[in-house]
Every structure is written in C-alpha cells, then in structure tokens.
Structure 1
C-alpha cells in the first residue's frame, strides 16, 4: 500500500534529492516509514534544531536543495532559529513538517496533541515560501513549488506542512515522473549595465566590494576578470571569502572591521558593491560613508539601496552582472599603483594588530582545504577578517549551536568537515555527537574551551566593567566525546596544528579540545 508519505518521498527523489535529514515524531511517522522503503539516504539527528542546521550545512556544501523532515508543534517550531540562519545566509533548504489531522485545521481547535491555531503563521516571516497541503494530490506540486522557491535568487528556506491523515492515507496518485522546476534569477537590464560600465571606465580609482551573493552565484571568474581589466582592488565580505584569490596583489581580503580598509573603500571615486546589502558586518557597523559614486548590484530587492541611497542600483544576479560589466569595460594598463595601495593598507592593518600573535597562530593552525563551519566564537570573529580560505559561519542570524550540526550535514555529502565551537556554543550541539557516531561521519569538532561565553564576557567587561552570567560550568569535553565512542584529544595553542592535522587524517568522527583564552578581535 502506497501512502501520502510514500508520495512525499517519491517526489523528493524525482526532484533530485539524495539525502534527507530528520527527527521523527508522532504525526510524522508515515514520512519516516516511507523513507525506510526509499533509495534516499536518511540521516537522523538528535534535535530538530540540529536537523535544520544539518540541512543548511549540506545545502551550503553541495550547492543544492536539501530537504529535512520533522513533526508537528514543538518539533516544527524548534527549527525556526536554523531557518532564520538559512534565510539570511541564502541556504536552499526545504522543511517538511507534519500537521495535526485535517479536521483540526482552520481554527477548529479540536485539542489534538501539538495543536496550534496556525502553525504555518510562525514560518511566514522566516521562510521564502510556506504551504499547507490539504490532499495527497497537492503533494507533488507543493514540493516542486517549494523546491523552486528555495532555488530562486535570492535562495532560502521553503516550508511545507502536511496533515497526519494525508500522510497516512492510501493514495493512487502515481509517483511523479516529470516535475517542472524553473528557479528565477534576476538578470541585469542592458541600460543599467551600460551606465555602470561608463562610470567604471571614467573612474580614476575604482574599488570593488564583493559580498556573499558573488560566492553563491559562482561569480568568482567574472569578478577576477573585471578586477583585472579595471586594475581595481577587491575586498570581500565575510560571506564571500574565497571568491577572489586571497594572495592576488589586488586583494584587500576581508578586513572589513578595520578602519584602514573602511577608509580605503570610502575614498574610491567609484565603489562597485556586488552581492551584499551592506549590512552591519559588511559596512564596519554602518560607519562606512562612501564619498564617490556607488554602483550597487543586489539580487534581493529588499536589500537594494537599503544602505546606499543615491547609488546606481542594479537588481540582478551578481554573476550575470559582473560578467556583463567585464565584457563592457575598457581594459587598463597596469601601472602598479593599485597593487601598491593594497599592499600599504594590508601592512597598516597587520601593524595595528601587533601583539595578537596567539590569535594569528590559532588561525594559522586551521587548514583552509577542508570544509569548515564556525559557531559564534572569538576565534570566528578573527576568522571573518583573517582566515584566508572559504568558511561558513552562523553570521546570518548570529545564533549559537550552528557549527557541529552544519558540519554533520556537510559530511553526509561524502566530504570531511571541520566544526569549530566555543565551549558555550558546544553545549547546544552535544547531542549530535551521537549522530556523528551512529552514521560514522567524517567530522572533526574543535572546541575552544575558554570557560564561558567569551564574546559576551568581553562585551560586558567593556560596557559595564565586569561580566555577569558569562562564566559556565561545563563537562570534560574529551571524556564526554569518548563516552559516545568518539575519539578525542586535547591541545594547547602550540600543539593545535599537529593535533588538527592528525585528527583530520583519521577516519570517522573525532574531537579536539583546545584550552585557550583568545582575546577579542579589536574593531576600529
């Protein structure tokens, strides 16, 4: 007998899903029963928050939509912090939740377990698309629409709810064979490209600020071509690390919380901002005030000119627009001035941060060639600016507990992943040690144990003179990991590089505990 649950799983397979993350619950059992009979890989996490973070990590690592399944009420609502992160970071996930039986919907208040007056309403301000299925016949189209919405630029999480009785009931709706999914990508208007190219051609010192949208759209080649044709220095936001070669002589890297870089961006006579809304972290906490012309390329219409009034605004995908501009601008002869200016800025930044040898050494111990997922830690604040390679962090929503489940999700794609947490954030993800072990996932978890909420400790000390509520009783993380059957080792700042190298080379999951107290990144 095929059920509505089978139709859900068949539809996901038809859409191209290979892996589903989940946590079972009473109303959703038909979904998990159907998974048992399907070719899809199921990775069960230990909390619904972990489920949604894992799907986020898998989506970022693979660049494809990742589905997850949870149950009604508390299970569904527990995913909201992770969905907020996915929305702000443009991670394409599709959350599938069960619902109470159909006769309890529409405010009938039957008193079912997990009943809410309107569960879907909780997701409408977070997901890019929210749908409530009413019959099995609606399942394929609803999931295809959610898939399309998650992939449409700007990408993000979509949400689908299906009542328990629809999931359990037999269905004769045939398995879908051809589902049409056409994600939308805004393309630049020709007259705006011409106007932007004229402005760039006339600029004496053009500068580019590349945001996360350039990375998400795969605009690295177009960005490199445009920068080299213009001889334009390039700074990248924290979400765009790796989209422009770090060692390129035109690379300002990601020192966006440093006043030297902020001043340099401000002094450009044309500042090309691509793939970022210039939010708090990308504008040195809204202190950047460009003095020249700003060209703003942004695929999210709501962010376009939100922080750049009076700019030449181009509502479009970064890759398409940068490619069009690279073809339209006149190439310049290099005279070395831009490269010398970049080198001077980077030298002044490094000189200002003298005395932070421990923090630089810790970052240098972390390899750049592995998928890395970072919680909100002091080391992450440093990594945003100083880590040379690509990285994924919870900067979208800024919540704790992201790193380990996201790394679990990435590792489920078949690649080694590294999670980096503080001891405070680690407490949010401890349950996923069991997931790592059960599925034998290639995850190394680095826990930086500084005795509490290190970032909040520093903020409170600066603001009030003394911290409160920041010091934490915590377990012996190495012993705790061992109790899950996960090998663990402890490290000092001096031994961290060797311990990480050894851990990353070992098969299966493992943990490295670093007892250190890094100082906060000094913003200016």
Structure 2
C-alpha cells in the first residue's frame, strides 16, 4: 500500500542528484542562511563580530538582503519593527558576549510587544563551552542565561547537522501566537567548519494555530448576547492577528463601544460611532469600562497602562481572549479564553446573537465630549497643534514609530492611526532609542511608502549612529526630533514629585548640522511650519531629519 506521505518524503531524481553533489566551499554559516531562505526569509539584520563571521561570509553566497546597523540594540529594534510590519520572523545575526548582550533591551521590547524576532548568536568554540573560564574572547559562563528571562525559547546547536532543525524550531516558536523573540546559539567552530551536507531547501515550520475551546466560546457568546451595556477593549493582539475586520463586525453586531489600548492603535476605526478611541489615562473612560456589565478584552493583558495604572476595577463580567497564557486572568478574574484573537473573534462572530442598543453611540459621544473638555481646560494648545500637524503631514498608509517621549505619550491617547499596524511605540518595555532604528526596519520591509520616526533629543542620542545606516541603504525614513534640551517627561515627573528635577538637562548637538554631516538632509522647523516641513521631508526619497525645538507638556492623566 502506498501512503500519501511516502510521495512527499521520497526525493525526486533531481533532488537526489543535488543532495549527493553539494557545491564546494560551504560551511556551517551556509547552513544557517540556507535554512533561513528555506523558511522564507528575505531580509536579515545584524552586526558582525569575530565568532559570527561564518554566518556573515555565507550571506554573500545567498540571496538574503542584509541591513547592517551600527549598534546591536538598534539592529534588534529594526528587526522588531520588520516583524511587526510584515508578520514574518525577522532574523537578527549577532556575535558572542558583548554583541549578544547589547541586543537585550531590544529583545525585551520585542517580547513585551509580541514581535517575532529570530535572534541567531554565535558562541565561543565548542571546546570552551561548559561553564568554565577558558579565557576566550567574549566568553560568558552561561550566555543563554542572559536570554532565558526575555525570549520565548532558547535553541542550542552543537553540530552542523543540528542547524536546520534548531532554526526551524525557533522560527515556529517565534511565529506561534503569541509572537515573540527567540534565541539560537551556534559555536564559532561549527559555523566555520566545512560541510558536505546537502544544501538546505524548503523547511516546514508552520506555526500552530491557537484555537478557542468551543465550550468557552458558547459561554462568551451567551454573555455578550444577553448583555445590557457591553464594551470591548482591543489590544495589540487584534492587530497582530489581522483581526481588525472581525472586531469591527462583532462590535457592530453587538452595538458595543470599543476602546483600543496603546499597543492596539488602529485596531478599530477612530471616528466610528462606537469608537471610544484610546483615552485610557482618563477616569471618564475608566468609569465607562467599569460600568459595562460584560467587558470583552481581546489581545490585551490589561497591564499598567491599559488599566489606567491599575486603578481599573471592573464591576461586570470580564471575558478575556489572550494568546499569551501567562497574561490570562493575570490582573482580573475573567472567563479566560486562551486563543488567537482572530480565531476567537471569528468564533464569537458566528455565535453571538445580534443586539441593538440605540444608547451606545450616545454614551460614546458623551464620553469623548468629557475627555475633550478635560484636555481643553489644561491649556495645551501647542501640544495638540503639533500632534495635529504630524497627523496631517503623514500619509494614511505610512507607518510611524514613536520613542518614549512626550509627543509619543500624547500619541498613545490622541493620535488617529488611520490604518491597522501603522502606529508603533516602545511602550511595551519602555526603553529609549526605539523610534529611529525601528523605522529603518519598517522601511527595509517596504520601501514604497515613507516611514516616520519621532524622538525627543534625549532618545535621539541613542540612535545617532544609525543616520549612517539610513544613508547607506537609502531608506525612506523621516526622523522628527523634538528638542527640549533634556529628558522632558522625566523632568516633569521629578518636578511634580520632588519640586525640582535632577539629571534631566542635556547638552546636545546641532541636530541639523549633525544629520547633514552624514549626508542626510535636515531642516529646523517651528510649530507653525511643522506640517509643511514634515510633508516636504516625507515626500522626498531617502532619509531626512526635521528638528522641532519645543518645550511640550504632558496632559494630566486622571486616575481617581
């Protein structure tokens, strides 16, 4: 009897011929890049180092596009953004010890934001492994230990034959919901040793579907169908699983207001009659959500920011759909459904009964009016003008990447991300320096549309070296630097808490002259000319810098 799988597993004559006669001059590094190609990768990020040179030499024998950044952490941010934009695993090639460790802050952000980054690092030669101190350059007693607390999974290679399977397993892990970063480690001698193994062809590392249990879907559908005042919190999982259309259909079927978390920007249309927008640092919004008799939370763990600094105390029944098992019911008791957001929303959409609530849109209008009145009372015209100018200048389909800066904090609540998966920030882990290198990664993923990066002057100094990367690869990124002479938000925090600020004032360069020294055109703008200058910069090919000297203030959040 012939089984179907026999037909799949039996090599063709051409495959057999190729396997028996592999090209000469290959090594372990070639197995790495061949496996990445076989898995479907097209672009890799990284920075070479002594122990990793076998991988980098093999790149020239491959069709993979390489984007090399100047600091490993920035390379990690670029890979993070590439993964967010494409939904594909973004390979990140790193060297041993200092090179690997420099990526940790970026991988922490990727973990917090569920970005699929496939980090492949080298190791000291195999003879030195085992926890001793052999005196090798870059040696760590246990390099993997530095990554285990951050990444989804760790994969160790000790022989060339293990490379394809280890990378394929890591790829599958990175892309199984919830997405996240993974770590693969390969010793220097394994990467450099010649190999006669056949060329790696197509690899199957299809991620597993995370399907909701039908009995839980039935209970959730019953609760939502019978709800009097349902509401929905939509997190980043909705965007990552490409479930925005399902969410819109479900909200309309239930007449349920929807608020998007800062990580879920773009998950629901901003101007929709049921849109509560993203004003989570607002007691009026918190009150409305607490008043819901059934609250559906999709793709959010209801962490610190999403719960208005843990002041949110729902009084109704909570249904939580979450792909990350560790986040399920971690902050509030709920009917916990461990599932991919798209699959769970599809199941609910087919199961819930339609309900009509003429008062829902009115509740939304009332809430947004209260929010606007609260902000209007704080004399923040400049901040709103600047954010409106950015929105007007940025094409609807262009991605934007926001650093941890006051304008970024405003954008979390007040920026209309007009398309799904177009607004990203470092609010997951909160590290500085994310905006510009992340924008470079997004531009490498799609050069057909301009990309915006937004930083303060403090955060910008983390990424200045990457102006060389932007120029070298001619990436269409416009970098808006809001220069207020220091760490502006920390200045506010310290002044509010202690009466004065310490260690927040910064000497900084002439950013325009500095950008131009890299061959990147730059302009100094004003709040009045920002829209025009930013529009012009975004319309020009290649990289550009726009510097806005301005002292912005944060709106006062309300927790009580």
What TM-score does the superposition give when structure 1 sets the normalisation length? 0.98
**SS of alignment partner, residue 285 of structure 1:** coil
1:396 pairs with 428, 438, 444, which one? 428
Q: Distance in 2 between matches of 1:505 and 1:449?
A: 23
The answer to whether the Cα contact below 8 Å between 2:435 and 2:453 also exists between their aligned partners in 1 is yes
> Could you say what the CA RMSD is over the residues aligned between the two structures, in angstroms?
0.9
Counterpart for residue 289 of structure 2: 265
**SS of alignment partner, residue 428 of structure 1:** coil
**SS of alignment partner, residue 380 of structure 1:** helix
User: Is the aligned partner of 1:452 residue 2:475?
Assistant: no
**SS of alignment partner, residue 296 of structure 1:** strand
| Cα displacement (A) at 1:364 | 1.0
Counterpart for residue 213 of structure 1: 237
Q: Distance in 2 between matches of 1:295 and 1:91?
A: 24
**SS of alignment partner, residue 218 of structure 1:** coil
| Cα displacement (A) at 1:62 | 1.2
**SS of alignment partner, residue 445 of structure 2:** coil
The answer to whether the Cα contact below 8 Å between 1:95 and 1:158 also exists between their aligned partners in 2 is yes
Q: Distance in 1 between matches of 2:381 and 2:202?
A: 57
**SS of alignment partner, residue 12 of structure 1:** helix
- Off by >3 Å, runs of 4+ in structure 1: none
CA displacement, residues 424-450 of structure 1 (integer Å, 9 cap, x when unaligned)? 000000000000011111110000000
The answer to whether the Cα contact below 8 Å between 1:133 and 1:160 also exists between their aligned partners in 2 is yes
Q: Distance in 2 between matches of 1:181 and 1:369?
A: 31
**SS of alignment partner, residue 512 of structure 1:** strand
Counterpart for residue 445 of structure 2: 413
**SS of alignment partner, residue 94 of structure 1:** strand
Name whichever of 469-478 and 413-422 sits farther off.
413-422
Q: Distance in 2 between matches of 1:242 and 1:334?
A: 24
CA displacement, residues 365-391 of structure 1 (integer Å, 9 cap, x when unaligned)? 112431100100000110000001141
1:57 pairs with 72, 81, 92, which one? 81
The answer to whether the Cα contact below 8 Å between 1:418 and 1:443 also exists between their aligned partners in 2 is yes
Q: Distance in 1 between matches of 2:121 and 2:465?
A: 21
Counterpart for residue 541 of structure 2: 507
Task: List aligned pairs for 1:346-357, cutoff 5 A.
Answer: 346-354=368-376, 355-357=379-381
**SS of alignment partner, residue 353 of structure 1:** helix
Name whichever of 379-388 and 313-322 sits farther off.
313-322
Counterpart for residue 310 of structure 2: 286
User: Is the aligned partner of 1:153 residue 2:177?
Assistant: yes
**SS of alignment partner, residue 176 of structure 1:** coil
Give aligned pairs, total.
522
The answer to whether the Cα contact below 8 Å between 1:378 and 1:521 also exists between their aligned partners in 2 is no
The answer to whether the Cα contact below 8 Å between 2:235 and 2:267 also exists between their aligned partners in 1 is no
Q: Distance in 2 between matches of 1:318 and 1:98?
A: 35
The answer to whether the Cα contact below 8 Å between 2:225 and 2:355 also exists between their aligned partners in 1 is no
User: Is the aligned partner of 1:119 residue 2:143?
Assistant: yes
| Cα displacement (A) at 1:334 | 4.8
* Unpaired runs of at least 5, structure 2: 1-24
**SS of alignment partner, residue 365 of structure 1:** helix
Q: Distance in 2 between matches of 1:87 and 1:185?
A: 19
Q: Distance in 2 between matches of 1:61 and 1:314?
A: 26
| Cα displacement (A) at 1:185 | 2.9
Q: Distance in 1 between matches of 2:35 and 2:203?
A: 8
* Unpaired runs of at least 5, structure 1: none
Q: Distance in 1 between matches of 2:110 and 2:209?
A: 18
User: Is the aligned partner of 1:494 residue 2:517?
Assistant: no
Q: Distance in 1 between matches of 2:140 and 2:35?
A: 27
Counterpart for residue 380 of structure 1: 408
Q: Distance in 1 between matches of 2:341 and 2:78?
A: 27
| Cα displacement (A) at 1:332 | 2.2
